[in-house]
Structure 1
C-alpha cells in the first residue's frame, strides 16, 4: 500500500508539472480572426526590444513575405492587427529581436524547405475549398515503389477518391509534381490537395480521380525524416534536381501506379501537372513521353531557370519533340502564371509559348495577380482539375 501511495503521488506531481502552463495564466489567443475578417496576432515577450510578424498577410501582394511591426502593450504582450483579409490560407512567423520563431499560441505549423511557419485560414470564400468539409473523404496513402532507374525504392503519396476501396471501377490519374525544395508531402500540406479534391468532387465540379504526388528530388528516397538518410540537414538544392534524371525515370512511377491501382492505363485517362520545378518537369516529361498524357498543366513553370553544364537527352531536340507531341494530340495544355513572378521564369514561359506558337501548337494561358506563391498554385490546381477527364 505504501508503494502504491508513492506511485500515485509521483503521478500527480508529474501531471501537475506537465500541465503547469494550464494553471499559470490564460493562454493567448493568436491568431484571432475577427468578425470583420481582420486578424490579430499576439505574443508575450516582455524583455524583447522589437517584435514583428511576417508572412503572406496581404492577399494582393503575396509574392514575398511582408513584415509588420508589432506594438508592445501591458504585461509585455505585443500585438498587431491586419487590414481586412480576403478568404485564403495564410502563413506567418514572428521575428523577436531578429530571431525568427513560430507563434507559441498556434499549434498549426507547416514546413516549406527548412522553414517552419504557422498557418491560419480565413473562411467565407475560396479558402472553404481548403477546409475539411462534411463531404465524403478520399484516402491518402504513402507508398514505396521500386525505381530501377534510380537504383532504390522511393516514396510517393497517393490520393484515392471516396468510394475507391468499395468498388471495382477504373479511375483516371493526375500526376501532381511539387516545386524545388518540396517533396511528396508539399501538395498535401501547403497545397491542400486532398481537401480541394474532396470538396470539388463532392460538388460535382471534378471527376473522381487518383492523384499521385511524387518526390521530384531523385537524390532522396523520401522527404526529410522519412527516408533512409534519417534526419539530414534540409537544403534547398539537391543533386539531380533538374538534370534530367527525374524525367528519365518517371516511367518507374507510372508502372507502379498502373500495376497497383485500378486505372485504365490509357492516355485519355492520364494528366500531369506541376508547380515551378514541377512545371519544368511536367513540360519535359510530356515532351519525352509524347503519347502518354492527354492533359498537361504548367503552374509558374521554372522554364527560364539557367541550365548550366546540364547534358541530358531529356532536354535535347525540343522542337522535334514538341511537334511529335502536337501530332499525337491532346485534350488540354494549360499554363498559369502570376504577373509578378520572377523575371527569368516569366520570360522563360513567354519564350516557351513562342516556340509553341511557331509550330501552331495549341494551349491555354492564364495570367493572374500575385507571384510565385502557393496562393496562386492552389488556384491553378482548382481550375485545372475541373477541366480533366470530361
Structure 2
C-alpha cells in the first residue's frame, strides 16, 4: 500500500503535466470596441506549453474570408491540428495565433469610405494592443506576422502595406486584391462622397497596384512576403499582377501557384507553408 500511495501522486502529476502541454483554442472570446461601438469576437490558439511556461511567444494574426467569422480557421481550416503538427515536427516555431471576427455589423477589414465604420482603426488601435496585453506575446515587429485567405488575404496585403513597421512577414493566400481604374472607382462612390480629393486618398490606399506606386518601397522591403494562389482560383489574375509589379520594383517576395481552387482544401495545404515561412522570419 505504501508503494501505491507513493506512485499515485507521481502518476497524476505526470498526467496533469501532459494535459498542460496540449495546445488550446478559444473561439468565442470578446472585447469591447469604442471605435466600432460594439462587442467584438475573436479566437485564439495557444501553443503546447503555454499554460505552464513563463516564456513569451511570437504571434500570427490570421484573417478569415468573406462569409466566415473568427471560427473559420478553427472549424474549416483545422488550425489547431495543423499548427500542433508543425510545432511537433519542428517545421515551425511555437506561436500564438489570433483570429479576429470581421463579419459583424459590416463585412471587411477596412474603414469605409465615409470613415463611419472604422474596422482597420479598431484592428490596430484596439484589437492588437488588447490581445498583446492579455497574452504573453512578443510585441515587436520581428515577432509579429499576418496572413489570411481571400478577403483576409486582401486584408493581409493592405495591412502590411499600411503598417510595414508592425509586421516582419505577410502571407496573403488567394488574396482579394482590388484593381480598378480611378474613373470606375469615382462612378461607384460619387453618390456617397462628392469630394474627389477624398475619393483619391481612399483609392490610393485601397487599390493593390496603386499602393505599389505611392508607398515607400524601402519600408515595404522590410516585410518578408509570401503569396500563394491556386491555378484555378478566380483571383489568380489579381495576385499575378501584384507579383509582376513587385518583381519590376525589385521587392523580394515568394510567389506560389499550386494546383487548386478557391477552397479550404487549398488553404489547409497552405497553412503549414505559411507557418514555416514566418518562423524563418522570426528566427532571423
Name the TM-score class by shorter chain: 0.7 to 0.9
Kept in 2, the 8 Å contact 1:144–1:155? The answer is yes
3-state SS of 2:35 partner: helix
Alignment partner for residue 338 of structure 1, among 230, 238, 242? 230
1:209-358 equivalences under 5 Å are 209-219=95-105, 239-241=106-108, 243-244=110-111, 245-251=118-124, 252-304=126-178, 308-309=188-189, 311=199, 312=202, 314-315=205-206, 318=211, 319-321=213-215, 323-327=217-221, 329-330=222-223, 332-342=224-234, 345-358=235-248
CA offsets per residue over residues 297-325 of structure 1, 9 Å max, x none? 01100114767439537427613325253
RMSD: 2.3
Greater strand share, structure number: 1
Kept in 2, the 8 Å contact 1:138–1:162? The answer is yes
CA offsets per residue over residues 144-167 of structure 1, 9 Å max, x none? 123222122201000001111111
CA offsets per residue over residues 102-127 of structure 1, 9 Å max, x none? xxxxxxxxxxxxxxxxxxxxxxxxxx
**In structure 2, distance between residues paired with 1:380 and 1:136:** 26
Greater helix share, structure number: 2
**In structure 1, distance between residues paired with 2:120 and 2:157:** 10
Q: Which runs of 4+ in 1 moved over 4 A?
A: 304-308
Report the structure number with the largest CA radius of gyration: 1
| Residue aligning to 2:22 | 137
**In structure 1, distance between residues paired with 2:39 and 2:218:** 32
CA offsets per residue over residues 335-377 of structure 1, 9 Å max, x none? 10100111xx211112212322232111101110011011110
1:67-78 equivalences under 5 Å are none
**In structure 2, distance between residues paired with 1:384 and 1:186:** 17
How many residues align structurally?
Answer: 234
**How far apart are residue 295 of structure 1 and its match?**
1.0
1:1-390 equivalences under 5 Å are 136-141=21-26, 142-219=28-105, 239-241=106-108, 243-244=110-111, 245-251=118-124, 252-304=126-178, 308-309=188-189, 311=199, 312=202, 314-315=205-206, 318=211, 319-321=213-215, 323-327=217-221, 329-330=222-223, 332-342=224-234, 345-387=235-277, 388=279, 389-390=282-283
Kept in 2, the 8 Å contact 1:217–1:246? The answer is no
**How far apart are residue 135 of structure 1 and its match?**
11
**In structure 1, distance between residues paired with 2:41 and 2:156:** 19
3-state SS of 2:69 partner: coil
Structure 1 residues not aligned, in runs of 5+? 1-133, 220-238
Greater relative CO (CA pairs within 8 A, separation 6+): 2
Structure 2 residues not aligned, in runs of 5+? 1-18, 112-117, 193-198
